[in-house]
Amino acid sequence: MERHLSADAATADERAAVDAILSRPPSPWVGGERSPHALHAARRDESAVPPRDLLLPALRALQAEAGGVSRGAISYLAARMDLPPSDIYGVAAFYALLDVDAPPEAGASVKVHLCDDVVCQLAGAESLIAKLRDRYGAEGEPAGGVSWHRSPCLGQCDRGPAVLVQRAGTYAADIAIASATAEDVARAIADPTPAPTPPATVPQAGDASLVVLRRIGRVDPADLDSYRHAGGYESLRRALALGPESVIQWVTDSGLQGRGGAAFPTGVKWRAVASQAARTHYVVANADESEPGTFKDRVVMEEDPFAVVEALTIAGYATGAEQGFIYVRGEYPLAAARLRHAIARARQRGFLGSNVMGRGLSFDIDVRQGAGAYICGEETALFNSLEGRRGEPRNKPPFPTVHGLFGKPTAVNNIETLLNVLAILAVGPERFRAVGAEDAKGTRLFSLSGAVMRPGLYEAPFGTRLGAVIDMAGGLRPGRTLQAVLLGGAAGSFVGPEALDTPLAPAALRPIGATLGSGVVVVFDDTANLRHTVLRIARFFRDESCGQCVPCRVGTVRQEELVARLAAGTPRGSAADEIRLFHDIAQAMRDASICGLGQTAASAVDSAIRLGILGREGGPA
C-alpha cells in the first residue's frame, strides 16, 4: 500500500541511524532513493519490510542521533517499515525518553534527567535541581543545547541523587550518574569519555552462603572464564542432563515464586508454556524494573550478566523456546551494555546459538531497551512495547502463557526469579526450599534505601523480620528515630515502626495490609516530610498511567488532586469528606482498571491515610 507521507525528508544522518538498525533498504520501493531509472521496475518484496519489533530500537537510534524524532525521520521510518506515520508518532509520543517536540536543529543536544522521586528526595535531589536551574535555566527549556527535566525513579536509590544524561549526536551516549553532583553533570555534558563506574553497593558481597548474590564481587562481569570459575554454566549443564520436564519439576518442587511483584509460581508458568501445542514459544526476561525504590535487577545485570544469560537459556530449554528477549529499562545503559557483551561472548563460546554446549539445542537472546515508561514492566505492556507498539497493557485472559509475545506462548520472568533457577539446579529443590518462610521459599533481594547507614542491595531469607533487614544496613543514622517504611515501592504501602517485628513473607504481611512487591524497603526517619512523599507517589502514577482505561487515566489525576489538597491542609469540605472520596476513587481503580498499575495506584496513599500521614482532621501536623 502506498502510504501518505509528509514532504519532510530525513537527514542523511537520520537515515544512517535507521539503516543501522533495519539494514540498508534493498530497493527503492521500501524507502530507498527513487531515481527515474529505478521506477522502470515496479517490484515490491514483502520480505524486505523489516519486522515491526525493530521500531523501538530504530526510534531510540534516531533519538541518539538527532536528539529527537523528527517529521522527516518518521516519514523515512514509515516508508522503510510500511507503517502509518500517525502510528509511529503515537508510539514515539508514548515514551518519556523519546522527544517528538525537539527543535529541528536539536542535533548534538543533551538532556539531563534528574530523579526527584521518593528516595532521591531524601538524598538531596532538590538542592541538585536548584544548582542545575542556576546553571542551565528553567526546566525543559534548552539553553546552549542542554535541557534538564525532572524524572521518575532512575533505579539508583542506593546512591542518590541520580541523573541520566542523554547525549545525542556524534558523541551520543546515555550516561547514568549516581550519586551525582552538579560538577559530575557538567563533566558528562562536556566530556565524551565515560566516567569510571562506581562499584556496586552490595555490602554482603563475597558471602558464599548467599543464593542470588553469591557471585557478586567475585566474578568479572566482562569475563566468561571468570564466571565459569565461579561455577557458571554448571546449572545449564545439569539442566541439559535432566531434560526439560525434570527441570520444570525441580523448579515446581522448589516452591519458587516470581520476584517481580505478583509472586506467581514459576514452575506452573513454565509448565503452562511448555505444554502449549502452538509454536513458536518465547522466553522473556523482564528487566524493566521501574518501581520507585527498586534497583535489585540493575545490580545483578551489571555485576553478574552471564548468570542472567545462563538462566534465560535454561528457561528457554525448559519451555521449548529458541528465542529469548531481555527487555531492559532505558534508564539502565550499563546493564544493557554488559548483557550485550555477555551474550556476544556466550555465543562465541557455544553457550548460545544453534548448538548450545554441543547438545544440539538452539537458543539465542536479544537485548531490547525501553525508552522511559514504568508501565512497560507490566508483562503484556512489555510485549506491546517489544513488538513496536504503544506500551498499553492487554486485557487478561488470555494470559501470556497462551497468547504472549507476538501472540505466541511466552514465559516472562523477572531477573531475580531467573537467577534463583540457577541455584535450584545447583543445589536441588530440597535444599533450596529449606530456606525461607512457610509460604515463600528461598531468599529475597531487598533494595534498601533512605535513612539507613548503608543503603544497598541485600539478600535475606523470606521471613526475616523487617527490623533485622534494616539492621543489616546498619540501622538508622545516630540520633534518628523511625517514622515509617515504604514496603514494595510506589505500588506498595507505608508501614509504621510497629511493623519492625513483622516477618517479611506474604502471609505475615497480609494482616498489616502490606506486600513485598519487588522487595523495596525505603526507610524514613523523623526528619522526612512524608506528606511530600505521598504526593510524589500520586504524581508518579498520574505520569506513568498509560491512559488507556478510564479508571486509571482519570482516577490517578483525581487522586493526585485530592492528595495535594490533603497535603496542603486545604481539603474540600472536611478531611473526612476527602477520605470518603478517596475510597471511591481507590475502589474504582482497584476494581475496574485493566492492569496492575491502576489496580495498585491507590495502595500507598491508602496506607498513608491509614497511618495518619494524610487526612488527619485539622490538617497537617
Partner 1 sequence: MAPPLQVKQLPERIVHATIDGQRVAVPEGTTILAACRSQAAEVPTLCFLETLAPVNVCRACVVEVEGSRALVPACSRPLETDMVVSTRSKRVDKSRRMVLEFLASSVDMSLAGPDVERWMEEYGVDPDRYGPKAAAGADLDARAGRHGPTVGAERATAAQPVKVDNDLYVRDYSRCILCYKCVEACGDQAQHTFALAVAGRGFDAHIATEFEVPLPESACVYCGNCVGVCPTGALMFKSEYDLRQANQWDESRQTVTDTICPYCGVGCTLELHVQDNAIVKVTSPMDHEVTSGHLCIKGRFGFEFVQQRPPAAEPR
Q: Give contact residues for partner 1 (rule: CB under 8 A).
A: 1, 3-4, 6, 71, 74, 84-90, 93-96, 98-101, 140, 149-150, 152, 372-373, 390, 395, 397, 539, 542-551, 553-558, 560-565, 568, 570, 572, 581, 584-585, 587-588, 590-594, 599
Measured CA to CA, the distance from residue 507 to residue 570 in angstroms comes to 38
Tell me the DSSP string of 389-402: S--PPPPSSSPTTT
Amino acid of residue 223: D
For partner 1, give the closer residue by CB, 319 or 548. 548
Strand order in the sheet with 110-115: 146-151, 110-115, 163-167, 173-177
In the complex, least distance from residue 586 CB atom to partner 1, rounded to whole angstroms: 10
For partner 1, give the closer residue by CB, 113 or 218. 113
67 and 108 in contact (C-beta within 8 Å)? yes
In the complex, least distance from residue 549 CB atom to partner 1, rounded to whole angstroms: 5
In the complex, least distance from residue 288 CB atom to partner 1, rounded to whole angstroms: 14
321 and 411 in contact (C-beta within 8 Å)? yes
In the complex, least distance from residue 259 CB atom to partner 1, rounded to whole angstroms: 20
In the complex, least distance from residue 78 CB atom to partner 1, rounded to whole angstroms: 8
For the chain, the residue count is 621
For partner 1, give the closer residue by CB, 74 or 424. 74
Amino acid of residue 320: G
The DSSP output letter for 74 is H
In the complex, least distance from residue 594 CB atom to partner 1, rounded to whole angstroms: 7
Sign of the torsion angle spanned by Cα atoms 460, 244, 299, 347:
positive
Strands 440-441 and 436-437: antiparallel
Amino acid of residue 547: G
310 and 347 in contact (C-beta within 8 Å)? no
Beta bridge partners of 321: 281
In the complex, least distance from residue 582 CB atom to partner 1, rounded to whole angstroms: 11
Neighbouring residues of 358: CB distance < 8 A, sequence distance ≥ 6 = 350
For partner 1, give the closer residue by CB, 64 or 557. 557
Cell of 336: 544493557
Q: CA-CA distances (angstroms) from residue 508 to 414, 461, 463, 500?
A: 23, 14, 8, 12
Q: Which of 411, 436, 412, 433 is nearest to 424 (CA)?
A: 433
Tell me the HSE value of 526 on the side-chain side, using a 13 A CA sphere: 5
For partner 1, give the closer residue by CB, 454 or 580. 580
Q: Is 510 exposed, middle or buried (0-12, 13-18, 19+ CB in 10 A)?
A: exposed
In the complex, least distance from residue 570 CB atom to partner 1, rounded to whole angstroms: 7
For partner 1, give the closer residue by CB, 307 or 595. 595
Distance from the first to the final alpha carbon of the chain? 65
For partner 1, give the closer residue by CB, 484 or 566. 566
In the complex, least distance from residue 548 CB atom to partner 1, rounded to whole angstroms: 5
In the complex, least distance from residue 565 CB atom to partner 1, rounded to whole angstroms: 4
For partner 1, give the closer residue by CB, 71 or 347. 71
For partner 1, give the closer residue by CB, 99 or 304. 99
For partner 1, give the closer residue by CB, 114 or 422. 114
In the complex, least distance from residue 14 CB atom to partner 1, rounded to whole angstroms: 15
Strand order in the sheet with 361-369: 353-356, 361-369, 321-328, 281-287, 410-414
Q: Which of 85, 79, 82 is nearest to 32 (CA)?
A: 79
For partner 1, give the closer residue by CB, 342 or 537. 537
